C-alpha cells in the first residue's frame, strides 16, 4: 500500500487539506478559501494546484493511496454533496468522481461528523472501540455513530443526524433544518448564545454578560463569565449540559455505545458542561445501561482533527464508476 493519504475538509469558509501517514501524522498541510470561486470547476482547479504543490514539496508524488473528503451533507454512498447549503455551488456536486478524475487518485467522501468518528477510530480516543458515538459540539451539533466497527450510514447515506433529534416538542427553538426543538439549537455554541439571551431577558440578577451587547454574546463570552464566577453564566452551562445528557441517555437505548466521544470548542468547557451532562445521563438512562457508557474527550489535536478525520476515509477509497453526465454538468 502507498504510504500516504490526502485528507480534505471542506467548510463553508475554508478548505483545509493535508498529507497523512499510516501513524496519523500530518506530514504537511495547507488551506484555501472555499467560497473564493463561483464555479466548482475553478475551485477544484485551485485545490488541485495547491494540493499538488504540497505533495511535491514532501516528495510524495505517486505515493498517495487515496483521498478522503469530509464535507457538509456529503453522501458516502453516492460520493456527492446533495444539499450544500453553506457552499457557493449548486447541488448536487459529484465530489468523489470530480476529485478522482482531477487527481487520478481513488476518492471517498462522507459528512464532516462521520469523518470525525473515523478519525477518532483510526488515530484517536476510539482506537480499539467497536461501538461508540462521536458528538461534535461546534457551530452546530454533529454526530457519527459506529456500531460493530462500522459507521452507520443508513439506506440512503444520511443516517446518524443526532443533532436533529427533537429534544423539546413544545415551543422549541427554530432550527436551520426547518424543524423546531432540535438538539443543535440548545447544545451547540450558537445554542449556548441563544440560551444566554433568553436567560438575560427572563432573569434580573446582575451578570457580567449584561456588560455586552446582547445580540453579540458568544459561547466564549459565557464561558469566560462562568470562569469568573458569574452564576447566570454557570446556570447556562448547567442548562446546556443537562439537555445534552438527557439526549445522550436516549442515544444509549438506541445503540448501547461503549463510549461517547466529544469534540469541539464547547466540549472544552470542562466541568461547567461535563458535570451536569454526566449527572443527567446517569439520572435518565435505563437501569440496565447505568455506568456502561463512558464520556471521554477527543484525542485529536484540534488543528489537525479535520484533516485526520477526512484522511481516515482515504485509506478505504476505491475507484468508482463515473456518472459522466453529472460531472460534465457541474464542471
Ordered domains of the chain (ranges, CATH): 4-116+305-330 (3.30.420.40), 129-299 (3.30.420.40)
Instruction: Give the pLDDT score at 99.
Output: 97
Instruction: Give the pLDDT score at 306.
Output: 87
Instruction: Give the pLDDT score at 239.
Output: 98
Instruction: Give the pLDDT score at 166.
Output: 97
Instruction: Give the pLDDT score at 12.
Output: 81
Q: Give the model confidence (pLDDT) of 127-138 as tens digits.
A: 999 999 999 998
Task: Please work out, in degrees rounded to the nearest 5, the angle formed at the alpha carbon of residue 329 by the alpha carbons of 324 and 331.
Answer: 90
Instruction: Give the pLDDT score at 325.
Output: 47
Say which residues have a Cβ less than 8 Å from residue 303's Cβ, sequence separation at least 6: none
Q: Which residues of the chain have pLDDT under 50?
A: 324-326
The C-alpha atoms of residue 115 and residue 120 are separated, in whole angstroms, by: 9
The C-alpha atoms of residue 183 and residue 187 are separated, in whole angstroms, by: 6
Task: Please work out, in degrees rounded to the nearest 5, the angle formed at the alpha carbon of residue 225 by the alpha carbons of 231 and 261.
Answer: 95
The H-assigned helical ranges of 146-230 are: 184-187, 189-202, 219-227
Kindly state the cell numbers that stand for 7: 485528507
Say which residues have a Cβ less than 8 Å from residue 127's Cβ, sequence separation at least 6: 121
Instruction: Give the pLDDT score at 84.
Output: 67
Give the residue from 211, 234, 207, 212 showing the smallest Cα distance to 223. 234
Q: End-to-end distance of the chain based on CA atoms, in angstroms?
A: 31
- Measured CA to CA in angstroms, residue 330 lies from 47, 86, 92, 105 at distances of 16, 17, 8, 20
Is-contact 129 74, C-beta < 8 A? no
Amino acid at each position: 500500500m502507498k504510504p500516504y493519504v490526502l485528507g480534505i475538509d471542506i467548510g463553508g469558509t475554508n478548505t483545509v487539506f493535508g498529507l497523512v501517514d499510516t501513524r496519523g501524522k500530518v506530514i504537511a498541510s495547507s488551506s484555501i478559501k472555499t467560497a473564493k470561486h463561483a464555479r466548482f470547476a475553478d475551485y477544484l482547479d485551485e485545490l488541485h494546484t495547491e494540493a499538488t504543490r504540497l505533495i511535491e514539496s514532501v516528495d510524495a508524488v505517486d505515493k498517495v493511496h487515496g483521498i478522503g473528503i469530509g464535507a457538509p451533507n456529503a453522501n458516502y454512498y453516492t460520493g456527492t454533496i446533495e444539499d450544500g447549503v453553506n457552499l457557493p455551488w449548486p447541488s448536487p456536486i459529484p465530489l468523489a468522481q470530480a476529485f478522482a478524475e482531477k487527481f487520478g487518485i481513488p476518492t471517498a467522501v462522507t459528512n464532516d461528523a462521520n469523518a470525525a468518528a473515523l478519525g477518532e477510530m483510526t488515530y484517536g480516543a476510539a482506537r480499539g472501540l467497536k461501538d461508540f458515538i462521536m458528538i461534535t459540539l461546534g457551530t452546530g451539533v454533529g454526530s457519527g455513530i459506529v456500531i460493530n466497527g462500522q459507521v452507520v450510514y443508513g439506506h440512503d447515506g444520511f443516517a446518524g443526524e443526532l443533532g436533529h433529534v427533537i429534544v423539546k416538542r413544545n415551543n422549541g427553538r427554530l432550527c436551520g433544518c426547518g424543524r423546531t426543538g432540535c438538539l443543535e439549537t440548545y447544545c451547540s455554541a450558537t445554542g449556548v448564545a441563544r440560551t444566554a439571551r433568553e436567560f438575560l431577558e427572563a432573569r434580573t440578577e446582575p451578570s457580567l454578560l449584561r456588560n455586552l451587547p446582547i445580540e453579540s454574546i458568544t459561547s466564549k463570552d459565557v464561558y469566560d463569565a462562568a470562569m469568573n464566577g458569574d452564576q447566570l453564566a454557570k446556570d447556562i452551562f448547567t442548562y446546556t449540559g443537562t439537555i445534552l445528557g438527557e439526549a445522550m441517555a436516549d442515544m444509549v437505548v438506541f445503540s448501547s455505545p461503549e463510549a461517547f466521544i466529544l469534540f469541539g470548542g464547547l466540549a472544552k468547557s470542562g466541568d461547567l458542561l461535563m458535570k451536569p451532562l454526566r449527572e443527567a445521563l446517569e439520572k435518565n438512562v435505563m437501569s440496565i445501561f447505568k455506568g456502561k457508557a463512558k464520556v471521554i474527550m477527543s484525542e485529536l489535536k484540534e488543528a489537525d482533527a479535520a484533516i485526520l478525520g477526512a484522511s481516515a476515509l482515504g485509506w478505504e477509497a476505491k475507484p468508482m464508476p463515473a456518472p459522466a453526465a453529472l460531472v460534465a454538468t457541474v464542471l
